[in-house]
Structure 1
Amino acid sequence: MFSYEKEQQEAIEHIDEVQNEIDRLNEQASEEILKVEQKYNKLRQPFFQKRSEIIAKIPNFWVTTFVNHPQVSALLGEEDEEALHYLSRVEVTEFEDIKSGYRIDFYFDENPYFENKALSKEFNVNESGDPVSKSSEIKWKAGKDLTKRTGQTPNKAGKKRQHEEPESFFTWFTDHSDAGADELGEVIKDDIWPNPLQYYLVPDMEDEEGDGDDDDEEEEGLEDIDEGEEEEGEDEDEDGDGEDGEDDGEDD
């Protein structure tokens, strides 16, 4: 019995040694992966810049992209959408060591809602290694603070996904409660920013649904016509039988 326990203990120690080697390789892999990511982040920058210059030529590109995105559209009220019509450029910048965080910049044309030409939100880690965020203070024009309007009407896209009225999209700039898991920030950085065109080109689902309704109405109309023709045919058969019966009687 003692021999078995000793062998088991030695086996556990050997497993621990091998696990330490695996952990060491994992750390080495993480460092090398980080270097590769840093390298390709730099290589992508000129293409992101070129893409931004082309996007600037397309009116309402970013508001259309956000409205077409299922998660972001659920956060947009009608007035938010109106304000985002003045959004001319979006930029996502990952910090050089990547692990420390990123920043999202929104650039706006002159608009009736706020004075800022740019709004940004930044995510990083503090000295203790805890995730934190900070953002621009929005300088709202008189009576235009969308974060204080709780009665915003959800936009058309948002209505499909939720029944409650959404808070303003712009409350995101003042919410620093969960910097380590900021859903909107991560959606913009990891989903929209790598390829916004896929969301800009999403077809209007309402139009598609509308077309489907028309088709259903046409099919129902055709069914009504078919049913009407069948009823008329039955009436004619009944009338025909009656006439034949009368003729037979007269012949007798």
Structure 2
Amino acid sequence: MNQEDDTAATRRDTGDTESSRASRGWWDRNADAYQREHGGFLGDDRFVWGPEGLDEEEAGLLGSAEDLKGRDVLEIGAGAAQCSRWLAGRGARPVALDLSHRQLQHALRIGSGAAVVRLVQADATALPFADGSFDLACSAYGAIPFVADPVRVMREVRRVLRPGGRWVFSVTHPIRWAFPDEPGPEGLSVAASYFDRTPYVEQDEQGRAVYVEHHRTLGDRVRDVVAAGFRLVDLVEPEWPAWNSQEWGGWSPLRGNLIPGTAIFVCVRD
């Protein structure tokens, strides 16, 4: 959760259109600062699943190195396309999709002279691709936490995947919504109901949403996957590694050693 100086945080209902508009505006305004702050950790061509630092090179959630060669891969909520460049470097044919024009400008800046990655600006709820266009789809904290109807996104992902295609996505671990978004000791005491699905909204003085995140319980996420027509084959909760001393928002070594911060869903389209 993020808060700009001239906004007020609240919990209230918000739909697809307002959520999409808020996300596009927020990321266009904050892409520069985000890349300055986190670019070193993310790297230019590294595939990191979350603030813990779990690397796809190690995790292999999309398959082995041989599995990736020659595969058509869609990255949703790609940001500056670091994950897609990692995929391209292993012989895959990635497409990096993001809602934010400014994030994709950073992808162009970083990707100059690197492995070729196709960039597409579009909303994840309406993917501009033909049925069965991809072998794999992935998203590292992209799109899913910010949409009002995640099943709609996942059905779109299923539509563009070929039979047997894998869909792997990471989100903030749902249990985190019960705790304050603080990296220190104050972030270790339950402060809200885990079962309150009311979205977190930052809004301007006119009451317009400028940032939105949607909470789903762990069970909700599983049901969303199944409702979209996928089979869940793994749920990964990365442990905080000893080498990672970095704080990232509410993620920190202190909290990461006690409660999970990221949930990664590994799904297959039958």
Measured against the shorter chain, the TM-score band is: under 0.3
**TM-score of the two chains, using structure 1 as the length reference:** 0.27
Greater relative contact order (Cα < 8 A, sep 6+): 2
Identify, as 1 or 2, the structure richer in helix. Answer: 1
**Greater CA radius of gyration, 1 or 2?**
1
**TM-score of the two chains, using structure 2 as the length reference:** 0.26
Identify, as 1 or 2, the structure richer in strand. Answer: 2
